Amino acid sequence: MSAKKKGASKAATGTSASGVEKVEAKATAGLFGSDGNRDEYLALVAELLEHDRRYYVDNDPSIADFEYDQKKKQLEAIEAAHPDWVVAHSPTRRVGHTPLSGFVKVERAVAMLSLDNTYSAGDLTDFFGRVVRGLQGAGDRRSPELVVEPKIDGIGIELTYKAGVFVLGATRGDGLIGEDVTQNLRTVKNLPMILKEKVDLLVRGEVYMPREAFDKLNVERLAAGEEPFKNPRNATGGTLKQLDSRIVAKRPLRVLVYEVVGDAPGIATHSGLLDYLRRLGLPVYPDTKTVGSLDALLKEVTVWQDKRASLPFEVDGLVLKVNDLGQREQLGFTARAPRWAIAYKFPAQQATTKLLDVELGVGRTGVVTPVAVLQPVELAGTTVSRASMHNWDQMSRLGVMVGDFVLVEKAGEIIPQILAVVKERRQGRESELRPIPPPTKCPECGDTLIKRPGEVALRCPNTKPCPRQLREAVTFFCNRDAMNITGLGDKLVESLVTAGLIKDLADLFALTRAALLRLPRLGEKSVDNVLAAIATGRTEATLSRFLTALGIPGIGWVWAQKIAEQYSSLDSLLKADPEAVYRDLVGIHGFGDERAGAVRDYLSDPQTQALLRKFITLGLSPNEPVVSTGPLLGKTFCITGTLSKPRGDFQKRIEAAGGKFTSSVTKKTSYLVIGADPGEDKRTAATKHGVPILEEAALEALLSGKSP
């Protein structure tokens, strides 16, 4: 039975409207009345919603933050003066409003069914065979196409639009009956309140919390003495269940839609429906794949095994759907799941194992981190024997002891972490368990650990200095994305610190041939190579590379470039008043108060000032080159994938030729250069913005002044 026959509403096309146009404002105003002043209010609502969509869905803002904020304040003032004008889809509703007493139940005509699960290539082969046999039984001899999409580990929702306006959002519930969470969903920044066309539409999707935002939320909860969420899905579910939407508004939820309930005129495929949703302005995952054979399907699943860790959200598998809507109708449903779709689940991301010991790690910034030593266990296709325990407050909340059995998960499917203690397995083993008190001294230098106000981390103040911190800082300083000083591996850096040849970063540039030759297992040729690499680092250093290498909190190379644009040399930056630096940086779009404050605090520190003066004394006083000529002048490049040389080498050559290097693709990017195993997100963004895609040979041609 087709979705339409089961009672789904039919989407009807209407007059298209794109951008912030008067015709869109008038169409919106027509829903609510024709009062002239109110029309202006509704036009402002429509304009701000369009800016929201461009910022949160397209990642292509068309207005400065300050201008947006001024328009938002204007809207708030109008609504305060005319509360009877306020519409439910106003951008001001995104901040949350009066708490609810409970959630209203929503009964749906078309059930949100579950999908059957598969776990292996054999299961996928069986599914593909069933689809082929089912179609042949219906007289359809065509080979089926399947759409492959990520299975986001979030909370399923159903969204209702009337005449293009968002009116209802409900959770999945038991499939037939969900809960009305409309007020909470209005706070989700990338969910459009008004579509680009005045259509009646019923769509389904997933609410989720991005990994980076989840990590930040847990840091804030730990700092506030609250229990951290176990995973992003848990955080998303708990957030949607909040009766106070003002709390929801403070949490960074996002939504992606993946299915239309009902028909869209003239669209015969699922991939066509996804394109239709994109045209309406709804957020849809940009990198779905369509495969036409079992071999192509198995290959795509293999690609996803490696790719999933790079996504900004948690993925626990893939969803495979027959693309042709007519073939779907032929295949139909079982009692609980469609025959034309299935979920492929990735290997388990959680496992239980025994905590054997806890070791202490000291990072570049002095944070002392407990690291769990585990009885080896298979997790997501790898053997895990160590896991992060984050900090001592978290350990206290877990109540973990050496000898406990613990639940381990791969955070972001990369870094294992301990989620919980399996306390029921303590019974009869109490004598084997050993408490884990927090340390008071740095395990590397013996300095007394401190805890800064507002932080949960124990930190070595590095007054001796701490050899581990120094080793980490030197390694970071030399890496290819910073000063790009080659040849200083971990063992050599450790030898330099242990021998007392390096007591701070600047000492790298004071190393002599005679001193290096006294180190064990370092021959004359190796010494010459190290000194040559340091000399090259000194001569090729730019201010932005140097600032990146210093490891200033919150300052990666993108923000280091922004600082270098303001202050063209290390000497001028050192001479500037730190408060003046703060004022200059906080005015840069996106820089922010916290990041600018970190730079001010770093430059205000007497130790920092002494270190920077020492660099200058030792001959390292980098400038930021201003290139006014060159074959790449005015061109911006982004690189994805592996090229024949390190990316830092190409960055230097591009900048020397007058070009700019960027880490993301926007409409302002001139070229995307791809190497082996390129990132699909950047390729998709290039296609979206019409950015030409080049291979390495074409880049070489441009660098030499030739056409690609």
Place of tokens 């920077």: 612
Place of tokens 């063209």: 568
Residue 369 tokens read as: 């981190």
CB 148 within 8 A of CB 291: yes
Task: Give the span between the Cα atoms of 13 and 19, in whole angstroms.
Answer: 18
Residue 516 tokens read as: 């290096």
Task: Give the span between the Cα atoms of 465 and 309, in whole angstroms.
Answer: 36
3-state secondary structure of 340: coil
- State residue 380 phi and psi, 5-degree precision: 55, 40
CA distance readout (Å), 431 to 358, 428, 435:
18, 8, 11
Burial of 448 (0-12, 13-18, 19+ CB in 10 A): exposed
Place of tokens 């006083």: 621
Question: Which of 57, 79, 88, 54 is CA-nearest to residue 161?
Answer: 88
Maximum distance among all Cα pairs of the chain, rounded to whole angstroms:
87
CA distance readout (Å), 452 to 124, 464, 561, 693:
53, 19, 29, 48
Task: Give the span between the Cα atoms of 87 and 106, in whole angstroms.
Answer: 22
Q: What angle do CA 415, 416, 420 make, to 5 degrees?
A: 140
Q: What is the DSSP letter of 11?
A: P
Q: At what angle do helices 543-550 and 557-566 cross, to 10 degrees?
A: 130
Give 274's contacts (C-beta < 8 A, 6+ positions apart): 147, 258, 284, 288
Residue 451 amino acid letter: K
Task: Give the span between the Cα atoms of 707 and 571, in whole angstroms.
Answer: 39
- Residue 259, beta-bridge partner list: 204
**Which H or E element spans position 517?**
helix 513-517
- H-type helices in 138-290, by residue range? 182-185, 211-223, 232-240, 245-249, 270-279
Buried b (16+ CB within 10 A) or exposed e, 227-265: ebbbbbbebbbebbebeebeebbebbbbbbbbbbbbbbe
Residue 418 tokens read as: 């301990």
**Which H or E element spans position 360?**
strand 350-362
Which residues are annotated as catalytic? 151
Taking the alpha carbons at both ends of the chain, their separation in whole angstroms is 54
- Which contacts of 644-648 are long-range, i.e. CB under 8 A and separated by 24 or more positions? 644/675, 644/696, 646/480, 646/484, 647/480, 647/481, 648/480, 648/481, 648/484
